[in-house]
Structure 1
Amino acid sequence: MNTLLTGLAMGESPRWHDGRLWLSDMGASEVVRADLDGKSEIVATVPGMPMGLGWLPDGRFLVVSSQDGKLLRQEPDGSMVTHADLSPLSRFPWSDMVVDGRGNAYIGNIGFDFGEGEPAPGTLALVTPDGVVREVAGDFEFPNGLAVTPDNGTLIVAESYGNRLTAFDILPDGGLANRRVWADLPDGFPDGICLDADGAVWYADVPGQRCVRVREGGEVLQTVGFDQGAFACVLGGPEGTTLFVTTAPWPPAQDGSRSGRVVTVEAPARAVGYP
């Protein structure tokens, strides 16, 4: 296990793209990009709190602005514009996002005011490449991490409060069907997730301070522990077998300190699918 980055407020939604690691630093309102030597730069500032990241087929970058209900797009000149307005669907915060190989973006809404309101059912929105928004599923117990299989055929959703991974078939128009439990996780609180070439899912677990690799049905294949909460993970690196994990203290420090990190672990199977 190695440390790639330090000094983050709270890293989320790591993505491996074009030979570098990208992530949202929620607490700093920044999207950060880093190379494998740990040299980092700020790619974008998102005052509404950045969350899920992804890319359109033409290479333009998307980021969820969680608190104001916007999906932002970065233009070639670096400017940030609104790709889609999510706010008509919900006034509550938006969480993670996965963009599939066709440019369809799936974005979770938690359905309540986190840290203040009582938990309530969350929803999932679809944003098409041209910015059309619609709700495609509901009744989630805190929808969080999202992943799509490499054939664009299956969407997997991490339900943090439901202690499970839930799967859907993806229809030709981007809609979802055949909802089913992909894995029950009786002692797991899955946050960010990613897929590997053996058909397994890695999930990050904040209260468990760990990342867990499971196969469909729930069999645990591997567990990696940390000394902080694990918020999200993604496979990447030159061979696709490096697991990048964003970690931070939980509950978060109230003194503004930046104790969040990105740590890396070598994994047994390479990255596939999206993110």
Structure 2
Amino acid sequence: MKTITNKQSSNHCLHLIGISLLMIVNISCKAQKNKNSAIIADGAQLTLVADGFEFTEGPAADKNGDVYFTDQPNDRILKWNALDNTVLEYMKPSGRSNGLYFDNQGNLLAVADEKNEIWRIDVDKKVTVLLTNFEGKKFNGPNDLWVDSKGGIYFTDPYYQRSWWKHQEPQQKSKRVYYLAPNADKPKIVADDHFDQPNGIIGTPNGKTLYVADQAGNKTYSYTIGKKGKLSNKKLFANMGSDGMTIDHLGNVYLTGNGVTVFNKEGQQIEHIAVPENWTANITFGGPNQTTLFITAMDSVYTLDMAVHGVR
């Protein structure tokens, strides 16, 4: 495990050159707070934690509140320690992991984009490949995932052509949402709704509603979760797509792209958090009390103290 700092490193750390871990620096671009929403902690400011990455994505918090995230172009997973605000390189190579999520046993699940697979990574970093295909054909490119209380895995499968792929077109005819039931070895299609690019995905704490963002379609939808993971009652939730998303204990949904935009569970916008980057990819709640909003944006990661907390 390598510590990432802002000091010049010796030859054994050459692959980390360009990353500068910063002490907490207050960003002049503060969160644009809506006093009526009261979801951001009083006096909180957006804080740059680290920069110098190539493209950050897929944040997921473990039981301690530490956040794991990906730097996909550099084929690695990194870890933010919530107690001392340091960033460590956790795993390299990582199968070009993109989205991450912890399962109910504390294993780190990853959508490994190099070969369009779903991985389970245990605490010893042993990798188990859970899925490689659907009906004998490669997935388009699993992107984000969410785990329900039973251990079932929902994941989105858009198609974003990668430079490291040998193939130049998708093998699946549609861009879908799949569900892998607990102890199953084959997924099933649960949403095949002519998505442009299904991307961000998150479920409610009570396990009754699933949100799916169609990034290219500029829409986010809600679905009712039924028996055996089935989805029904599709509704338009927001006229906004999202690269990633998270949810707080009040049921507010956080969408990304141009900063972070927050909607209440009725689909009304209640907050916008400006982030000084060209693109905000993904978010999660971390920290010991899950009151730290952790934001991945371009070559940087940020935090913001919140008055609400996340859910696991």
Q: TM-score range by the shorter chain?
A: 0.7 to 0.9
Cα distance in 1 for partners of 2:195, 2:262 equals 22
In the TM superposition, residue 90 of structure 1 has moved relative to its aligned partner by 4.5
Cα distance in 1 for partners of 2:96, 2:212 equals 21
Deviations 1:95-134 (A, max 9, x none): 111112211111111146379879x952011122323322
After TM superposition, what 4+ stretches of structure 1 lie above 4 angstroms from structure 2? 114-118
Letter in 1 for 2:186: V
| 3-state SS in 2 of match to 1:95 | coil
Cα distance in 2 for partners of 1:58, 1:238 equals 18
Is 1:223 the counterpart of 2:262? The answer is no
Q: Is the 8 A contact 1:121 1:141 kept in 2?
A: no
| 3-state SS in 2 of match to 1:190 | coil
Q: Tell me: CA distance 1:114–1:78, structure 2 relative to 1, closer, same or farther (3 Å).
A: closer
Aligned length: 255
Task: Give the alignment of 1:195-274 within 5 angstroms.
Answer: 195-205=247-257, 208=258, 210-228=259-277, 229-248=279-298, 260-272=299-311
Q: Is the 8 A contact 2:72 2:98 kept in 1?
A: yes
Q: Which residue in 1 is equivalent to 2:177?
A: 124
Greater CA radius of gyration, 1 or 2? Answer: 2
Structure 2 counterpart of 1:113, from 146, 161, 164 = 161
Which TM-score applies when normalising by structure 2? 0.74
Is 1:135 the counterpart of 2:183? The answer is no
Which TM-score applies when normalising by structure 1? 0.84
Cα distance in 2 for partners of 1:69, 1:48 equals 9
Q: Which residue in 2 is equivalent to 1:52?
A: 99
Is 1:26 the counterpart of 2:78? The answer is no
| 3-state SS in 1 of match to 2:73 | helix
Letter in 1 for 2:306: A
Q: Which residue in 1 is equivalent to 2:234?
A: 179
CA-based RMSD of the aligned residues comes to 2.3
Bigger share in strand: 1
Letter in 1 for 2:143: S
Q: Which residue in 2 is equivalent to 1:69?
A: 116
Task: Give the alignment of 1:165-176 within 5 angstroms.
Answer: 165-176=220-231
Cα distance in 1 for partners of 2:153, 2:107 equals 13
Q: Which residue in 2 is equivalent to 1:257?
A: none
Gapped regions of structure 1 (runs ≥ 5): 249-259
Q: Is the 8 A contact 1:61 1:73 kept in 2?
A: yes
In the TM superposition, residue 156 of structure 1 has moved relative to its aligned partner by 0.5
Q: Is the 8 A contact 2:294 2:301 kept in 1?
A: yes
